[in-house]
Amino acid sequence: MSATTWTMAKALNQGLAKALADDDRVLLMGEDVGALGGVFRVTEGLSARFGTGRVLDTPLAESGIVGAAIGLAMRGYRPICEIQFDGFIYPAFDQITSQLAKITARHEGSARFPVVIRVPYGGHIGAVEHHQESPEAYFAHTAGLRVISPSTPNDAYWMIQQAVASDDPVMFFEPKSRYWPKGEVELESPAAGMHTTRVARGGTDATVLGHGAMVSVLLQAAEVAAKEGTSLEVLDLRSLSPIDYGPILRSVEKTGRLVVAQEAPGFASLGSEIAATVAERAFYALQAPVLRVSGFDAPFPPAKLESVYLPDADRVLDAVDRALDY
């Protein structure tokens, strides 16, 4: 069987299982990842298969989870940490940004710290406070961390394995609203490395770029635009640090317009960085300013208001129309 159809949650589960099976040094640890299988059931069955010595339920202490993982990495293990929800990551912020991100540099590269931190993130699930945030820019800003986010089951299956194989610490952001839609998974070999931008849909009139759950919104916008005679090229960022600018610049050189979309607030964000870099490196190809569509610069609202806060296809298409009007 060279391909199958899985949800992203299933694809992550199988990718984690393969990583555990292929290397005895790989450990999985986090709150409720064992017998319960995680709140999203991503780790379901792994404790029974690999034992509680390799799939560890931890106390409710995110700084302790990451701190223990750093110690395990020092002893030659390859730990995978789960942060149960995006808004719970802040107690571990010091361990991640002050210790894990810098410790390889302190050793001048003589020691590696292959820690993967899985973070379910983003909105669209109608959850309560601290359960729908998008904190990825904090970590993309931090030198020493690799930051990636899949948008499809196929990418989830392969990118989690690539993250575990990396000798550098990896922040692995999982768009929780995409856990359940199904997609084809190629089981033979990955389509690309984990730090490549993917062309999700070809187009000629304008480029729209996003990551994680936003990619499905951009594809919806492209379908609507096509019915109105506008051809949008949809790019899936996949890697938030480092960013693979080659496909982005080639697309902008072709279309002359770029709209960057994200769930996170717009100020000092990934969208800001991409807009500035494209303006620097593709200035003469641009026929309009790079436009950004984002969550608002406010705390994530109560669940009943999330549809107002989160960018949708209409907001993306409004930005496309403005770009085309220049």
Active site annotation includes 131: yes
- Look up residue 221 and give its two tokens: 């916008």
- Look up residue 55 and give its two tokens: 């799939």
Task: Please confirm whether the linkage preceding 190 is cis (ω < 30° from 0).
Answer: no
| Torsion angle in degrees (nearest 10) through CA of 174, 309, 265, 133 | -40
Q: Taking Cα atoms as reference points, which of 271, 320, 319 lies closest to residue 297?
A: 271
Pairwise CA distance, residues 319 & 290, whole Å: 10
- Look up residue 1 and give its two tokens: 């069987």
Is residue 233 classed as helix, strand or coil in its secondary structure? strand
Q: Considering 107, 130, 131, 195, which one is annotated as catalytic? A: 131
Contacts of 192 (CB under 8 A, 6+ apart): 198, 238
Tell me the chain's radius of gyration from C-alpha atoms. 19
Note whether 73 and 65 are within 8 A (CB): no
Note whether 233 and 297 are within 8 A (CB): no
Active site amino acids:
131
